[in-house]
Amino acid sequence: MNFLSVSLTDIGISRSVNQDSICTKVIQEDNKKASFSIVCDGMGGLSEGEVASLSVLNNFCRWADNILPVLIRNGIDFNELKEQWTKIILKQNQYLGEYGANKGIMLGTTLTALLINDGRYYGVHVGDSRIYEIKDGVHQLTRDHTLVERDIRLGNITEEQAKNDPRKNILLQCVGASPSIEPEFINGIAEENTVYMLCSDGFRHVISDEELYDNLNSNMLVNEHVMKERAKYLIELNKSRMEQDNISVILVKTI
């Protein structure tokens, strides 16, 4: 399996700092390839969100550079992968908590990462950044760790009511500002000619699933140049609709 991939981030129209950190890379080992992508969205309501997001991203990217090749060579075991990712997350949660305590501040970040290898995808998720699979439609693979999403699952509010709920951006957990963390893990079959999208919440607040599919379906994304142009178009569309947050997206197409 081969991959096309692009990543774009934009400070947006109102923020003085871009607190999003993103990365996508292809790792090759013994003629086998894996795609690894990560989006971390530093908490805008807290201090130094960009420090938190970059710290978590850097630790996962070091893992991808140094440990992932061994997993590719030996074959990925999901339980082993979950253990390794959980260890990174818990260490970062402790580190950022101590960093904040020493400086008298609170800081935190979302974390959403996706690994694709040998016909399967594996993801880890904390917060409200998202992973989507775009194939015959737009399918959200992660659940937001927010008060509003919890109320939807409990039947307290409808999805329509949630769109205008003032609590929709309140997180139940993030890396760095939570006393304990329960990462969400996902895995499934990754078919060829499928698009995977990772994004911060700023990318998808004012964009519909129909607009995502029309611009990002696999038939549309024939090469990385087109992928970048379509992503740029959607970022500018977000800004024209007065999205206030930083805006970040990663696109990975399996071929």
Domain CATH code at residue 188: 3.60.40.10
Count of domains in the chain? Answer: 1
How many CB atoms sit inside 10 A of residue 111's CB?
Answer: 30
pLDDT value of position 75: 95
What is the spatial distance between Cα 28 and Cα 73, in angstroms, rounded to a whole number?
A: 9
pLDDT value of position 47: 84
Cβ-based neighbours of 190, under 8 Å, separated by 6 or more: 1, 116, 119, 120, 121, 196, 254
Please tell me what DSSP assigns to residue 220.
T
Chunked into runs of 10 residues, the chain (255 residues) has average pLDDT values of 98 96 96 97 88 98 98 96 99 97 95 98 98 98 94 89 83 94 98 98 96 98 98 98 97 98
pLDDT value of position 21: 99
Start-to-end Cα distance in the chain: 6
**Among residues 250, 217, 221, which one has the least CA distance to residue 129?**
250
pLDDT value of position 160: 84
Domain containing 203 equals 3-254
pLDDT value of position 218: 97
pLDDT value of position 247: 98
pLDDT value of position 104: 93
pLDDT value of position 138: 98
**Among residues 129, 144, 172, which one has the least CA distance to residue 22?**
129
| C-alpha torsion angle, residues 201, 203, 151, 93 (rounded to 10) | -20
Alpha-helical segments (H) within the chain: 49-66, 68-74, 78-103, 147-154, 159-162, 201-204, 209-216, 224-240
Q: Is the dihedral of CA 47, 48, 50, 51 positive or negative?
A: negative
**Among residues 250, 199, 228, which one has the least CA distance to residue 36?**
250
Q: Which 3 state secondary structure label does DSSP give 27?
A: strand
